[in-house]
A and B are shown apart, each in its own frame.
Chain A
Amino acid sequence: MKRKTKAVGPRVTWKEIKRQKFLMICAALFVIYGIIFYYIPLGGWIMAFQNYKPRTGLLHSAFVGLDKFKFLFSDKTFLQVIRNTLAMGVLNLVTTFVMAIVFAILLNEIKSVKGKKTVQTISYLPHFLSWIIVTGILHDAMSTNGIVNEVLQALHIIDEPINYFAHTKYFWAIVAFANVWKETGWNAIIYLSAITSIDPSLYEAASIDGAGRWAKIKNITLPGIRPTIMILLLMNVGNVLNAGFEVQYLLGNGLIKSVSDTIDIYVLTWGISQNDYSLGTAAGIFKSVVAIVLIVIANQIAKKTGDERLF
């Protein structure tokens, strides 16, 4: 009996360890690397509870308890950047998800193989361009003499060209559009491969029963890719707060700071430009904690609804 249970897993004996010497040594090196670059920075979180001064260092700076967090939550700008980050994060998540799914389903309905392939190849292109390039291109297109104003004027929707980067009301939509423009084709890849793995006999059976195109999409395609949608949604929910740096940093300006600044930009401003490392770290911790809470909540919901989950 005893023997049987032991034989299930690999036995930890000196002989086995010796035989795995190469694996062990390499694994140890990877752990050391991981500790240095991923785990030691977590120790830096102590700074958030100190009045950190570079001169005195982590060990000798005075502890101030939760003062930095109290300052954060009494700071109107911080509350504003939380709102901006959440709003843009959720808006981006929803728009990019919906667009990718719609695009994948519609592309799948194209019968010409060549046409499908061409459109798909083109759709990936923006994903490979850096945010610097994308924001530059977008800035040109939306400038006062850019194509967007030109088209809208030609269609008589507006009379005067609009400077979109000077009004707070456009910014969130611009950021969402930028994300959709850049990532729709890329995000659709995974849905397209999920659609191709749906059993074709389901569609045939539906056709025989007289189901139209919409009925098939609604009753076969969408349920078929539902697990993929759910797992990707879960993986991305934790990233909602991460969705706010490059575009906002590159496209934001003094006029629209109140809607464009995000937590990451706040950290950058306070931590790097103002040299208040403690406050910057505290804001960073807040972000990490919210991200983890969001992932856990989403995972719980997925558990309840019986969908796939992360852990």
Chain B
Amino acid sequence: MKNRSKKTKFANTAFVVCNTLFMIAFVVITLYPVWNTVAVSFNDGIDAVRGGIHLWPRKFTLKNYQTVLGLESFATGAYITVARTIIGTLLALATNALLSYIVSRKRFLFKSQLSLFWVITMYVNGGLIPVLLLYKTLGLTNSFWVYVIPGMISAFNMLVMRTYMMGLPDALEESAQIDGAGDFLIFTKIISPLCKPVYATVALFVAVGQWNSWFDAMLYNRTKSEYTTLQYELMKLLSSVMQQSGSATSVNTAANNATITPVSVRAAATVITMLPIICLYPFLQRYFVTGLTIGGVKE
């Protein structure tokens, strides 16, 4: 008996040690590359090409940041990205919420047909080329609106919001109806205030998607530099790094001098682009955890 409990105790300790080591390794592998980018972004460009920079810059400089912030395309990209994130999120939130309100009304005559109509869009889509042609026909290409109008309503967000709204007690709506409130009032004054958590969740999903997208800028607004986005500018920097991997050729900018390289400039641009997200996401945790849990449940 004694021997056995000793054995389990040993196994237990071994497990705890291994598990802790695993978690430490996990955290290091997750954080190191991000931190390393920060270190490189503060390091002299030419010096960085030699490699060997780990946690701290070897030759400290702010030149990389000065260069990035001085790039006109980057400033435009930042402006457009902020605009599309704000406008896109507000539009998506308003429309998805209204749609979810409609399909979550038990008394609505076509609720199941309308739901199905949208769920189908999750599985079938026209594909890249027909969509591109459509946007061209509608005049959405070479414009800012291609970022916010086409992807506005998503069936997934609708399902998340619908599930949440269906969980609210019917009595709320019924008593408002008896008081003579119409659907618009019930939606804005009764249901929406109660849906703040799920609205926050969807807003977060949409905002992150908007902030991070680059493909639409490349595909629909390639020739329109006034509609470029941060991520697309970053992508261009990335490909310049990959093409000249390891070489010390400098970027063509007004502030051009031999101490900046694509690698270091890209690192600075990366840090600027991910900074808002890194600062904000820890505070929004509870929202996306709820959202994911609702979304994963079968409707």
Contact = CB atoms under 8 A, between A and B. Distances in A.
Interface stretch (B106-114, B194-202, B249-257): B106-114
Contact of A145 (B50, B114, B277): B50
A129 B36 contact: no
B130 A133 contact: no
Contacts of B246: 143-145
Given A36-B134, A284-B127, A284-B129, 16 more contacts: A27-B102, A41-B125, A42-B124, A42-B125, A43-B130, A47-B129, A115-B23, A122-B30, A137-B37, A137-B270, A138-B33, A139-B238, A232-B296, A267-B127, A288-B124, A288-B125
B19 interface: yes
Contacts of B238: 132, 135-136, 139, 250
Interface residues of A, number: 88
Interface in A222-281: 228, 231-232, 238, 246, 250, 253, 264, 267-268, 271-272, 277, 280-281
A121 interface: yes
29 contacts: A10-B109, A20-B107, A26-B99, A26-B102, A33-B153, A34-B121, A36-B138, A38-B120, A40-B126, A40-B134, A42-B124, A45-B126, A110-B23, A115-B23, A125-B278, A126-B30, A130-B213, A135-B238, A136-B37, A137-B33, A139-B241, A139-B242, A181-B30, A190-B293, A231-B298, A280-B128, A280-B129, A288-B125, A295-B123
A284 B127 CA distance: 6
Interface in B11-70: 11-12, 15, 19-20, 22-23, 26-27, 29-34, 36-37, 40, 50-52, 54
Interface in A106-144: 106-107, 109-110, 115, 119, 121-126, 128-133, 135-141, 143-144
A212 B7 CA distance: 11
Contact of B102 (A23, A33, A121): A23
Which residue of A34, A37, A109, A135 has the most chain B CB atoms within 10 A of its CB atom?
A37
A86 interface: no
A159 to B, nearest CB: 17
A107 B15 contact: no
Interface in A152-196: 165, 181, 185, 189-190, 193
Nearest to A35: B117
Which residue of A42, A123, A133, A308 has the most chain B CB atoms within 10 A of its CB atom?
A133
Contacts of A135: 238
B93 interface: no
Interface of A: 10, 12, 16-17, 20, 22-23, 26-27, 30-31, 33-34, 36-45, 47, 103, 106-107, 109-110, 115, 119, 121-126, 128-133, 135-141, 143-147, 150, 165, 181, 185, 189-190, 193, 212-213, 228, 231-232, 238, 246, 250, 253, 264, 267-268, 271-272, 277, 280-281, 284-285, 287-288, 291-292, 295, 308, 310
Nearest 10 interchain pairs by C-beta: A41-B126, A44-B130, A145-B51, A284-B127, A130-B212, A41-B130, A38-B121, A22-B183, A137-B33, A271-B129
Nearest to B215: A246
Interface residues of B, number: 88
A272 B219 contact: yes
A144 B263 CA distance: 14
Contacts of A284: 126-130
B84 to A, nearest CB: 14
B247 to A, nearest CB: 12
A304 B208 CA distance: 38
A128 B27 CA distance: 16
B118 interface: yes
A112 to B, nearest CB: 9
Nearest to A103: B26
B30 A128 contact: no
Nearest to A58: B133
B189 to A, nearest CB: 14
A124 B281 contact: yes
B82 interface: no
B168 interface: no
A37 B137 CA distance: 12
A30 B102 contact: yes
B127 A277 contact: no
B273 interface: yes
A212 B8 CA distance: 8
Given A26-B98, A140-B33, A231-B296, A129 B274 contact: yes
A277 B95 CA distance: 32
A132 B235 contact: yes
